[in-house]
């Protein structure tokens, strides 16, 4: 035994002095260095992802505040909610019209993309679902902007700055917060479509094109224009012409077949173009026989201001890629020729087929410049977009915030009265309610706007919200305080209705015998 101990001591004495008695634990330093190296290599991509996440969160907080504060309304959030709710109940896109009749939404707008919200509604049955999806979709449009920049520009920094400028673009925030309009989803979809065509992935474009067409009856026209760009700018004649034909055919089918089939008449939105013909054929005839009427309708101070507001955040740099920027021309003309002032307002959803092409053209156009000027141009676009958003964005105190009537703040006491009034109405009961209350009551089969009653068993009147149906004005919705006061008096005097709530100018009536 002593010999074995002696041998072990001898072996230990012969070991090098610098070998430790125990092995060290594996160092975490290489792993940290690899993570740090990856983060540095992808810093600009991470900045874009982080910015779109923060942008989405901030806008959702804003729209949630608008919803809870009754600064959103039946028109248009409630309309979409009713169509989605009905689809989830097995009645695709059914909704109550201003006339009080039940019809599919296709009688007014051909936007079947709303049906895709029905499965999500089953998971989260809240109007905020629609607002959240719209905001998230708009935010994700920053990715194809970034990818286009990386592909065409010499600097990844310039690409990231343009993606951030897209998020800072003031009219994107306005449109994303205006919950909700299916056509707004076309903004990011068009950017992905451009990206797929730019990278020669036509099947990816086809999927985007189908979804774009499903957001509105007019969206086939810019799809067609994008097909012509693909032919003329990239030389793909067959594919480009096929895209153009498919896009034009869709809009023609939607306007001339689908809407008249469900509406039993031409599109109600022909009235937007009454001054220059009142229909596609009428506008074309006016253009051929009286081009001066078209020019006088188009080159107004409002339309020129519209162009300036759209161009200023981008410093007009989209003119460096005129072919791609020209794809926005059909929608710009449709907006400018309309008699509706809202269509020439950059705060509204009508910019959906304008914004993506101006942004993408700005990205591609900057590739015509030197590397240093690319970064300078991208920085300029980001700074201008951020400054104009601070000045004219949809935030409290912004000079442009009063442009949308629903942005007017509702006092807390009045909000509490509306909440308590709405809580009285059973979830499945037919109801007639004023516009702002309608955003909280539309998830039901029968919903009417005063003075329409239809099958209503409950009436919720916010007498501070005069937006009701004007029967003498082609059933349009508008501020008619006298009509609302007359309706209130009629209901109060009627033996068919019991008043069950009256607080802070909010009234609730229940039909006698409906208990």
DSSP of 23-59: PPPPPSHHHHHHHHHHHHHTHHHHHHHHHHHHHHHHH
392 and 440 in a single domain? The answer is no
**How far, in whole angstroms, is CA 359 from its chain's centroid?**
16
Give me the pLDDT at residue 8, please: 47
Least-confidence region, from 64-73, 399-408, 437-446: 399-408
462: in domain: yes
Contact 362, 385 (CB under 8 A): no
Give me the pLDDT at residue 341, please: 85
In angstroms, the CA 53 to CA 260 distance is 42
112: in domain: no
Which positions ≥6 away from 119 have C-beta within 8 Å? 88
Question: Average pLDDT for residues 294-312, to the nearest whole number?
Answer: 91
Give me the pLDDT at residue 374, please: 96
Contact 436, 465 (CB under 8 A): yes
Give me the pLDDT at residue 397, please: 58
Tokens 């009749």 appear where? 101
203 and 315 in a single domain? The answer is yes
497: in domain: yes
Number of continuous H segments (helices) and E segments (strands) in the chain: 24, 9
In angstroms, the CA 394 to CA 58 distance is 12
In angstroms, the CA 403 to CA 175 distance is 13
Owning domain of residue 276: 43-72+126-405
pLDDT digits (tens, 9 = 90+) for 256-299: 999 999 988 888 888 889 899 888 889 989 999 998 989 988 88
pLDDT digits (tens, 9 = 90+) for 207-249: 999 999 999 999 999 999 999 999 999 999 999 999 999 999 9
Residue 321 or 404, more confident:
321
Residue 402 scores a pLDDT above 70 = no
358 and 438 in a single domain? The answer is no
Query: Which of 372, 405, 438 is the C-terminal boundary of a domain?
Result: 405
pLDDT digits (tens, 9 = 90+) for 58-67: 999 999 999 9
Residue 355 scores a pLDDT above 90 = yes
462: β partners = 506
141 and 176 in a single domain? The answer is yes
501: β partners = 508
Percentage of the chain exceeding pLDDT 90:
73
Q: What is the number of structural domains in the chain?
A: 2
Give me the pLDDT at residue 28, please: 63
305 and 376 in a single domain? The answer is yes
Give me the pLDDT at residue 13, please: 53
Question: Average pLDDT for residues 344-362, to the nearest whole number?
Answer: 95
In angstroms, the CA 214 to CA 509 distance is 39
In angstroms, the CA 155 to CA 41 distance is 13
- Global pTM value: 0.91
248 and 132 in a single domain? The answer is yes
What is the DSSP pairing of strand 431-433 with strand 102-104? unpaired
Q: Which helix (H) or strand (E) holds 501?
A: strand 497-503
Which positions ≥6 away from 244 have C-beta within 8 Å? 224, 225, 227, 228, 231
pLDDT digits (tens, 9 = 90+) for 88-120: 999 999 999 988 899 999 998 999 999 999 999
Give me the pLDDT at residue 175, please: 94
Contact 158, 378 (CB under 8 A): yes
In angstroms, the CA 200 to CA 230 distance is 10
131 and 201 in a single domain? The answer is yes
In angstroms, the CA 326 to CA 148 distance is 18
297 and 164 in a single domain? The answer is yes
317 and 170 in a single domain? The answer is yes
Least-confidence region, from 395-399, 423-427, 436-440, 504-508: 395-399
469 and 343 in a single domain? The answer is no
292: in domain: yes
Give me the pLDDT at residue 269, please: 83
33: in domain: no
92: in domain: no
79: in domain: no
324 and 368 in a single domain? The answer is yes
Q: What is the number of alpha carbons within 13 Å of residue 257 lying toward its C-beta?
A: 6
356: in domain: yes
Give me the pLDDT at residue 268, please: 81
Q: Give the residue from 365, 334, 363 showing the smallest Cα distance to 349.
A: 334
Query: Which of 405, 439, 454 is the C-terminal boundary of a domain?
Result: 405
Phi first, then psi, for residue 94 (nearest 5°) are: -75, 145
DSSP class per residue in 343-388? GG-TTSGGGTTTHHHHHHHHHHHHTTS-HHHHHHHHHHHHHHHHHH
Give me the pLDDT at residue 2, please: 52
Query: Which of 375, 405, 435 is the C-terminal boundary of a domain?
Result: 405
367 and 240 in a single domain? The answer is yes
Max Cα-Cα span within the chain: 121
Residue 71 scores a pLDDT above 50 = yes
Residue 33 pLDDT class (50, 70, 90 cuts): confident
Contact 172, 164 (CB under 8 A): no
Residue 422 scores a pLDDT above 70 = yes
Residue 473 pLDDT class (50, 70, 90 cuts): low
In angstroms, the CA 89 to CA 415 distance is 30
Which positions ≥6 away from 498 have C-beta within 8 Å? 509, 510, 511, 512
């Amino acid at each position: 035994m002593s010999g074995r101990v002696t041998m072990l001591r001898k072996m230990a004495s012969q070991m090098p002095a610098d070998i430790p008695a125990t092995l060290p634990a594996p160092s975490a330093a290489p792993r940290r260095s690899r993570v740090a190296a990856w983060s540095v290599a992808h810093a600009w991509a991470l900045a874009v992802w982080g910015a779109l996440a923060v942008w989405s969160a901030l806008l959702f907080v804003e729209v949630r505040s608008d919803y809870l504060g009754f600064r959103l309304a039946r028109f248009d959030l409630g309309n979409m909610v009713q169509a989605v709710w009905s689809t989830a109940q097995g009645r695709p896109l059914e909704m109550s019209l201003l006339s009080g009749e039940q019809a599919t939404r296709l009688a007014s707008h051909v936007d079947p993309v709303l049906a895709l919200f029905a499965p999500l509604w089953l998971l989260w049955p809240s109007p905020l679902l629609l607002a959240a999806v719209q905001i998230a979709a708009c935010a994700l449009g920053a990715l194809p902007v970034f990818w286009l920049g990386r592909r065409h520009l010499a600097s990844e920094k310039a690409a990231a700055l343009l993606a951030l400028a897209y998020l800072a673009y003031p009219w994107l925030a306005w449109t994303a917060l205006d919950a909700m309009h299916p056509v707004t989803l076309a903004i990011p979809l068009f950017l992905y479509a451009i990206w797929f065509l730019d990278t020669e992935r036509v099947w990816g474009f086809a999927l985007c094109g189908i979804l774009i067409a499903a957001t509105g009856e007019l969206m086939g026209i810019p799809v067609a224009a994008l097909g012509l760009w693909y032919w003329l700018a990239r030389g793909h004649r067959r594919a480009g012409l096929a895209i153009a034909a498919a896009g034009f055919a869709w809009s023609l089918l939607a306007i001339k077949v689908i809407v008249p089939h469900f509406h039993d008449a031409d599109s109600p939105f022909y009235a937007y173009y009454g001054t220059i013909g009142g229909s596609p054929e009428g506008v074309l005839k006016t253009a051929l026989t009286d081009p001066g009427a078209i020019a006088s309708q188009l080159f107004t101070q409002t339309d020129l201001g519209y162009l300036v507001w759209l161009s200023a955040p981008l410093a007009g740099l989209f003119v460096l890629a005129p072919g791609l920027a020209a794809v926005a021309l059909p929608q710009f003309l449709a907006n400018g020729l309309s008699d509706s002032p809202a269509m020439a307002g950059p705060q509204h959803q009508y910019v959906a087929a304008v914004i993506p092409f101006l942004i993408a053209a700005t990205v591609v156009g900057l590739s015509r410049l030197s590397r240093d000027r690319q970064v300078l141009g991208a920085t300029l676009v980001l700074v201008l977009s951020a400054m104009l958003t601070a000045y004219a964005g949809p935030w409290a105190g912004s000079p442009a915030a009063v442009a949308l009537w629903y942005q007017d703040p509702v006092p807390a006491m009045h909000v509490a009265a509306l909440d308590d009034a709405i809580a009285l109405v059973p979830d499945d009961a037919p109801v007639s309610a004023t516009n702002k209350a309608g955003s909280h009551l539309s998830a039901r089969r029968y919903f009417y706007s005063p003075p329409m009653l239809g099958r209503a068993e409950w009436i919720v009147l916010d007498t501070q919200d005069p937006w009701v149906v004007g029967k003498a004005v082609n059933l349009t919705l508008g501020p008619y305080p006298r009509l609302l006061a007359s309706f209130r008096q009629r209901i109060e005097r009627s033996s068919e209705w019991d008043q069950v709530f009256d607080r802070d100018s909010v009234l609730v009536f229940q039909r006698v015998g409906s208990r």
